A and B are shown apart, each in its own frame.
Chain A
Amino acid sequence: MSRFVQLHLLTSYPPSNLNRDDTGRPKTALVGDANRLRVSSQSQKRAWRTSEGFEAALAGNLGTRTKRMGKEVFDALKAGGIDEKNAREWARLVARQFGKPKSEKNTENDADLEIEQLAHFSPEEKEAIQALTQALIARKDKPTDDELKLLGQPRRAVDIAMFGRMLADAAEHNMEAAVQVAHAITVHKAAVEDDYFSAVDDLNTKGDTGAGHIGERGYGAGLFYLYLCIDRELLAKNLGGDAALTHRALAALVDTVTKVSPTGMQNSFASRAYAGYVLAEKGNQQPRSLVQAFLKPVKPHGDESMFDKAVDALEARCKNFDAVYGACADGRFTLNVEKAQGSLQALTAFVAD
């Protein structure tokens, strides 16, 4: 099995402000002496790992979203002959594993058994909860800490297995990230534009003339190059050698990185975009990004397409690296939306197998 899978993506964002600096303007970087818009690595990762799709994809799309799992457990325990007080207490302990309880106190509508936010339960998790409930009924005793922790841990650890965790005060929980993500930059020279906007005061019919509010906001649009490198062996190791889970994790990652955009100012710009081009590479060779394809900013002339020129530059750099340094990968797969070439399913198969 090839150790590394590298993904090179081109995603075109309309006017947006996905990732802001301390003054609220889109982040930038200087690459090859030309200014570019930039979306930081951490911003992309945050959007991916907190996205609903990421969680749902890992649950096999068959999960249940609910706040009321605690109530289910409570009812099952009571039906199993556990007295109300114990059933309530044990069900609360289970519910807490999935979110903050709505109430600490016993209320009329069982708010103490509900959690504040919807949580996603995979079929495996539901089974694990049911099994635990039955075990509690059988031995008529409360769940142990270890039992509670085990509820759904394998699936839940997937994002940590991919993106790592650093805890200074609990080093034993640290995990080395198996996925490396670079800052995304535009393939072309891009400036941050200023949007000067005014808002009308609807009730101000006569009186003062002029706007009720004025403001300005930085934004930019561009074709971004994204790069990530997956260490599949480390990912499998982080997931305890579970091959099926690793496979699902990789599929979820491919699905997420091609479809999920950073959340910054989405209500103002609705700039959600899917990747238009993906080059995937497999091999044990030292991974390298292809960002140098855009050292010279892409600049279409006449009716040339920015997208096509960027794809050409990327593929040329890939070929030239092979020519000068020797083959940089053992296998490649291309998805190109403009040419209707490749599919997400085929890409996922390439990445995960």
Chain B
Amino acid sequence: MAFLVFQLQAPLAAWGEPAVGEARGTAATPSHSAIVGLLGAALGVDRTDEAGHAALRDGYGVAVALLRSGSLLRDYHTAQVPGRAALKGRPQFTRRQEMAVPKQDLNTILSTRDYRQNAACLVALQAMVPTAMPLEALASALRAPRFVLYLGRRACPPAAPLWPQVVEAASAHAAFNQYAQRFEAARQAAADPKGRIPLEPLDGIERLVFDERVQAGVAADLSTRRKDRLIRRAGWQFGDRTEHVALLPREA
């Protein structure tokens, strides 16, 4: 069967968990909704396009190979806002205009935003329904996206091309291994005349995380529920999704 595999690498990434208010946590692996959002951005699906999002959500089974879980960065985030009374009857077209009030009328909003530092993973998609957009079309959209891509937050741009590849394999696990081999071959082929090989090799797979629809090729060590199945984009509504996790011994 065919899989679309691509990589996500960045010094900072944020895979949001359910968060209301001040604490904005992050998981180690991308949520299902984050991947739907990423594909949507590549294809130019507008935020208000519920049908477009639903098609992406239902169209593909998702598996994630965690290469590096990275470490936690807890960012102390402040934002200044004038009180409502100070803004009354005044235009706020620009940030500078909004803040053009006497200093004592400015309040500070605090939040704690978590990031994963130096995290890296691979994502595999398997088409689930005949009406799903072909994997090749998704791959071209990722190569020349309509909107900018980011790893969970807009301030987290990818630090390498996603390099989407359509791979024929018996399982997602096999597809990840094939992708890694292709990447290594591409690196070797790009060696300079002195034989120096550019870029860093990919890390081995630490953990495989997949939903129940995908052919993973490994047995799950544990199954958890994650609230990241997109229900309605406009209202930020998310439903439960079962996620299986397989811990893999690192290949030397």
Contacts and interface: CB of A to CB of B under 8 A. Distances in A.
Interface of A: 3-4, 21-22, 27, 29-33, 40-42, 46, 49-51, 54-55, 96-100, 116-117, 119, 149, 152-153, 156-160, 163, 171, 176-177, 180-183, 185, 227, 229, 231, 234, 284-292, 295, 320-321, 323-325, 328
Given A50-B99, A288-B158, A27 B90 contact: no
Most buried by B among A119, A181, A325: A325
A286 B102 CA distance: 43
Contacts of B163: 325
Contacts of B91: 96-98, 149, 156
B12 A287 contact: no
Contacts of B194: none
Contacts of A290: 159
Contacts of B9: 292
B75 A27 contact: yes
Given A96-B90, A289-B10, 18 more contacts: A30-B118, A41-B155, A51-B96, A99-B97, A116-B100, A159-B95, A160-B93, A180-B154, A180-B157, A182-B12, A183-B12, A185-B11, A231-B147, A288-B159, A288-B160, A295-B200, A324-B186, A328-B161
Given A100-B101, A286-B142, A182 B76 contact: no
A286 B101 contact: no
A31 B79 contact: no
B224 to A, nearest CB: 27
B223 interface: no
A163 B160 contact: no
Interface string B132-160: 00000000001111111110001111111
Interface residues of B, number: 52
Contacts of B213: none
Nearest to A51: B96
Contacts of B190: 320, 323-324
What 3 pairs across the A-B complex have the smallest Cβ distances?
A156-B93, A320-B198, A41-B155
B96 A55 contact: yes
B-side interface mostly: loop
A246 B200 CA distance: 39
B199 interface: yes
B160 A321 contact: yes
Contact of A180 (B118, B150, B187): B150
B94 A324 contact: no
B96 A182 contact: no
21 contacts: A27-B75, A30-B117, A31-B11, A32-B118, A33-B118, A42-B77, A49-B96, A50-B95, A96-B90, A99-B100, A100-B86, A160-B94, A176-B47, A177-B154, A182-B156, A285-B161, A286-B144, A287-B157, A292-B200, A321-B160, A324-B187
A324 B96 contact: no
A325 B161 contact: yes
Contacts of B161: 285-286, 288, 321, 325, 328
Nearest to A322: B190
A42 B153 CA distance: 12
Contact of A30 (B47, B71, B99, B102): B71
Nearest to A324: B190
A234 B148 CA distance: 10
A159 B12 CA distance: 25
A132 to B, nearest CB: 14
Interface in B198-221: 198-200
A289 B95 contact: no
B52 to A, nearest CB: 15
B100 A286 contact: no
A285 B100 contact: no
Interface in B1-45: 9-12
